Amino acid sequence: MSIQEMFRLAFVAGAVLLAPLGLQAQDALQDHSCTVGAAGGFVSPFGKDGNNFNLGWTLQAGGGFAVIRPPEPHHGVALYITANYMYAKLGATSAALTAAKTADPTLASATSAHGSFSAVTVDPTVRFPLSRRVGPYASGGFGWFRRDVGFNGVNAASLLESSASTLDRVASNSGVFDLGGGINIGLTHNGGLMVYTEVRVYRGAAINSTTTLLPVSAGLRW
């Protein structure tokens, strides 16, 4: 799947999340002046790593503050600056593991492999209040990205290590671009805690330019 197709997929998924746009914007609830949240979900790899890894899981957390926020009692579009952390773990495909073992004989005893991905980004975020409880948002930015691949296998047990061990690790660091959107749904009419669901795309830069991840998550936000 090409990067253009991947972004189209993200757009379609985002459109599904933003379906409540038909709700009336009257009496919209104003967002907080600061925000914090955490979520979990699944992540799908695309590009070259789409052939190297299977579907995996992700954890995300972040927070920030409003830089443009209509004064009370007015309600309207708000702009936030947020810092976000994403962690994802995906198991390697059997074909990718076989190829790696063929390329490096020292990995001959490897029985599995996995990829761990971490990203820290700064994301301007625009929120659009629609009703007392519903508010979609869109965000995107840039930050730091780490791709870490570990190979697991079995060695002879010794006094210093068990029989199961990590045979080798390969890590690379680079920049990353991210783009996404989602929807906040308040749990009460008076603001406070919200549930949210989100689709986001991470595209590694430089040495990690072959890595594209699409996490879909849900969680709690204040």
Q: How far, in Å, CA of 121 to CA of 119, rounded? A: 6
SS3 state of residue 114: strand
What's the rounded Cα separation, in Å, for the pair 112 and 90? Answer: 11
3-state class of 212 per DSSP? strand
Chain-centroid distance, C-alpha 119: 8
Tokens of 33: 């002046």
- Tell me which H or E stretch contains 97: helix 94-103
Task: Determine the pLDDT at residue 158.
Answer: 45
Amino acid letter, 143: G
pLDDT along the chain (222 residues), means of 10: 51 48 47 91 95 97 91 76 98 95 90 96 94 90 97 62 66 97 87 91 96 98 94
What is the pLDDT at residue 106? 87
Phi, psi of 191, deg, nearest 5: 85, -170
Residues 138, 143, 146: CA angle, nearest 5 degrees: 120
pLDDT, residue 5, reads 53
pLDDT of res. 188: 78
- Structural tokens at position 143: 């930050």
Amino acid 13 reads A
3-state helix, strand, coil in the chain (%, to 5): 20, 55, 25
pLDDT at position 74: 58
What pLDDT does residue 191 have? 65
